[in-house]
């Protein structure tokens, strides 16, 4: 015998208004989704497609699903990828060391001039960064305003130079990315409740202990964001290496640029770009796991 355990309930009609309300978030997200689809998803698919093709720029490229493009790209450029990662690590470290005191000082001692200081910090960046980098190549020129003078004064030997060295490339990238390090640090330092520092001192913490036990941990979200915002563009940078660098300073961005523009070997160039993106993505994920993802959103 069949038994209905459930009592028969009358069909309840969901009010039209609530249905509409349930759809509203999708409607609101639509412009962003369309944007992402057109400007991110489609280009990504086009890139992945191109990276598996073969051919040349004269006869065109055909899809052959040649995965060897990836292994070729990796095996030929392994040392340059490592160099880019090393440079980016140095840049990030140096930028953090330079940026933290600046951000700290503005946040804690800037007073009513905080915005003025921040504006001054950003002021040079109203000029295109390529132009600023080229300007550095003139300033750092062997007989330019700095080294020319020092050489005339006999402080430096005639053959001394900075242009065309790894030092120049790393310094250039650091200079160009410094605001991206300072700003997130500033934001997180600015948010720290000053009473916590006072409380630490009331509890007999030295100034140093108050910093290491209170301020530094509370600014971790800022450090986390600063490291990501500095290291990711640093790995892919090619302008500094091409303007300030020389032989032995090529970065992976230069190789991709050259594959695209000089060799017009689009498949290998896109394969390399995707490999680079993968490396950065994996790096960022590991980093986020180690430090906790919620910190990104806090900063």
Partner 1 sequence: MNDRSPWTDPSWIRGMTQRRMSRRDLIRNAAVGAGAIGISSILAACGVSGEAQTTGPTAGEEGSAQWWADMKAQGPGDHINFTNWPAYIDRDFSVDGPGSRPSLYAFTQSTGIDVTYRADINSNEDFYAAIRPALESGQDTGHDIIVMSNFQELSEMIALGYLIELDPELHPNFDQYAGKNFVDPVFDPGNKYTMAWQSGITGIGYNTNYVDGPITSLDDLLNPKYAGHMAMFNNSPDAGCSAMIHLGIAPETSTPDDWQKAAEYLQKFNDSGGLRGWMDQSYLTAIENEDLWITMAWSGDILNDKLYFPEYATFEFTIPDAGAVIFIDNGCIPNKAANPVGAEMLMDWYYDPKYAAMLTEWNAYFTPVPDGGEIVQADAAAAKGANKEVLQTIASSPYVFPTTEFAQKLHNYRVLEGDEVQTWNDIFNPIFLT
**What does the binding site for partner 1 look like in residue numbers (CB under 8 A)?**
45-46, 48-50, 52-53, 55-63, 65, 76, 80, 138, 141-144, 159, 161, 163-164, 245-248, 250, 254-255, 258, 260-266
Which residues, including other chains, have CB under 8 Å from residue 194's CB and lie 6 or more apart?
Answer: none
Residue whose token pair is 């900075």: 162
Q: Is 36 left (phi over 0), alpha (psi -120 to 50) or beta?
A: alpha
Helix (H, G, I), strand (E, B) or coil at 35: helix
Supply the minimum distance, in Å, between the C-beta of residue 74 and partner 1: 14
Helix (H, G, I), strand (E, B) or coil at 127: coil
Supply the minimum distance, in Å, between the C-beta of residue 44 and partner 1: 11
Supply the minimum distance, in Å, between the C-beta of residue 216 and partner 1: 40
Quick one: 181 or 250, whose CB is closer to partner 1?
250
At 159, give phi and psi (nearest 5°): -90, 0
Supply the minimum distance, in Å, between the C-beta of residue 156 and partner 1: 13
Residue whose token pair is 């948010």: 191
Quick one: 96 or 237, whose CB is closer to partner 1?
237
Quick one: 213 or 258, whose CB is closer to partner 1?
258
CA dihedral of residues 117, 235, 222, 295 (deg, nearest 10): 150
Quick one: 164 or 236, whose CB is closer to partner 1?
164
Quick one: 53 or 219, whose CB is closer to partner 1?
53
Quick one: 233 or 246, whose CB is closer to partner 1?
246
Supply the minimum distance, in Å, between the C-beta of residue 175 and partner 1: 20
Closest C-alpha to 197, from 189, 188, 207, 187 = 207
Closest C-alpha to 196, from 217, 212, 210, 216 = 210
How remote is the C-alpha of 102 from its chain's centroid? 20
Closest C-alpha to 118, from 179, 175, 173 = 179
Supply the minimum distance, in Å, between the C-beta of residue 268 and partner 1: 10
């Amino acid at each position: 015998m069949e038994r209905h355990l459930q009592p028969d309930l009358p069909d309840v009609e969901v009010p039209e208004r609530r249905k509409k309300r349930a759809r509203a978030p999708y409607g609101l997200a639509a412009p962003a989704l369309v944007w992402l689809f057109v400007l991110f998803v489609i280009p990504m698919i086009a890139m992945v497609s191109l990276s598996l093709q073969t051919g040349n720029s004269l006869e065109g490229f055909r899809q052959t699903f040649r995965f060897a493009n990836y292994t070729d790209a990796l095996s030929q450029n392994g040392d340059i990828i490592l160099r880019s990662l090393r440079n980016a690590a140095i840049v990030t470290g140096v930028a953090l060391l330079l940026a933290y005191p600046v951000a700290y000082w503005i946040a804690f001692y800037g007073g009513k001039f905080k915005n003025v200081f921040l504006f001054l910090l950003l002021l040079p960046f109203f000029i295109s960064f390529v132009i600023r980098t080229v300007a550095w190549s003139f300033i750092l020129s062997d007989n330019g305003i700095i080294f020319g003078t020092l050489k005339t004064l006999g402080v430096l030997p005639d053959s001394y130079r900075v242009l065309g060295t790894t030092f120049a490339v790393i310094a250039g990238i650091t200079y160009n990315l410094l605001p991206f390090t300072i700003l997130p640090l500033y934001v997180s330092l600015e948010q720290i409740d000053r009473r916590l520092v006072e409380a630490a001192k009331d509890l007999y913490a030295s100034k140093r202990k108050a910093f290491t036990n209170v301020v530094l941990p509370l600014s971790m979200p800022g450090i986390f964001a600063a490291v990501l915002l500095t290291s990711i563009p640093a790995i892919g940078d090619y302008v500094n290496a091409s303007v300030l660098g020389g032989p032995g300073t090529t970065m992976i961005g230069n190789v991709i640029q050259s594959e695209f523009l000089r060799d017009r070997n689009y498949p290998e160039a896109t394969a390399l770009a995707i490999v680079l993106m993968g490396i950065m993505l994996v790096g960022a994920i590991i980093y986020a796991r180690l430090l906790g993802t919620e910190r990104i959103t806090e900063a």
